[in-house]
Amino acid sequence: MSSPVRSIDLRGEPARLRRELRMKRLFLAAAVVSIAISIAIVASLAGNALRFFTDVDKASLLDVGWFPRRSRFDLLTPIAGTLVMAAIAMLVATPLGLGAAIYLSEYARPRVRRLLKPVIEILAGIPSVVVGFFALLWIGPNIVVELLNSPKPATILTASIGVGILVTPLVASVSEDALRAVPQSLREASYGLGAKKSTTVRTVVVPAAVSGIMASLILGLSRAIGETMVTFMAAGAVGGALRTWNPLDSGTTLTAAIASVATGSDQVAGEALAFDGVFALGITLFFITLVLNWVSDRFVRRVREKY
């Protein structure tokens, strides 16, 4: 006759339980690393940026332009460049991305869609340095100079078109997912009332997917603002730029300004104030994209709750 089972017998061998605890702690440690990275990012950016703002001659913060090696630190120059560049990039990416998404989701035959969706995703995977090369050596001479009669190929506009091309597949891919998440019953109800296809798409499907579409646009904007290589290669700034709102001037952005200080003939570490200055740009960039990603996240959640 066996003795009755006590609860202590069900706990298992101590060695097994110890291993269980050890593995759990190991996994927890891996998860905590992501928090440590965030703290390290904020700390390193804020620390150096703070030193920059205490050391810098305050008058040079509103100087004529951003020339870190000549101690001119007009923060408005890269910020203005970023705003102009992002606005034009979104003017390119919004119609292209949304148009492609609506066509693929609502009009394309299933076979065409299955063929083209991966192609859009390939376009999304093209490294930004390749798009930068394309902007510098193709868009510049062929579009900006030939078509728009600009005297020089490397301008903010050149880079903006390149960045627009870069974020188009992202906008297309995310908003296509949002459009396809709209239940078929909504479309059928609209057809049932006698609406045409185009009426259904414009007045039923797109409004139903609007939060996902907005999220794709904000995500695209965030990506455009954070994009480095295209503006660094194609916007025409060497070492610095004058403050300008004209897209046909050469200029710089927050990201490109960081990259050009870093690749200057003397290494970043050489010049203390310029070194700290890039962190001031970095923290500005970090918070802009953080806010945009947060807003985009809210929109995505709204679309999830809906259906």
* Interaction residues for another protein, span 185-224 (CB under 8 A): 194, 196-199, 201-202, 219, 222
* Count of residues touching another protein (by CB under 8 A): 92
Inter-residue long-range contacts of 264-268, CB under 8 Å, 24+ positions, other chains counted? 264/69, 264/239
**Minimum distance, C-beta of residue 258 to another protein, in the bound complex (Å):** 5
**Minimum distance, C-beta of residue 31 to another protein, in the bound complex (Å):** 4
Contact 230, 128 (CB under 8 A): yes
How far apart, in Å, do the first and last CA atoms of the chain sit? Answer: 59
Considering beta carbons, is residue 132 or 212 the nearer one to another protein?
132
* Interaction residues for another protein, span 9-38 (CB under 8 A): 12, 16-17, 19-20, 23-24, 26-35, 37-38
Dist. CA 302–CA 270, nearest whole Å? 49
Site string for another protein, 233-262 (x = CB under 8 A): x---------------------x--xx--x
SS3 label, residue 3: coil
* Selected binder of another protein within 155, 232, 241, 299 (CB under 8 A): 232
Considering beta carbons, is residue 40 or 87 the nearer one to another protein?
40
* Interaction residues for another protein, span 65-94 (CB under 8 A): none
Q: In what order do the strands lie in the sheet with 72-73?
A: 72-73, 65-67, 241-242
Site string for another protein, 99-128 (x = CB under 8 A): xx-xxx--x--------x--xx-xx-xxxx
Please give the helix or strand (H or E) that residue 65 lies within, else none.
strand 65-67
The encoded tokens of residue 178 equal 């949002």
* Selected binder of another protein within 60, 61, 289, 302 (CB under 8 A): 289
How many CB atoms are closer than 10 A to CB 46? 15
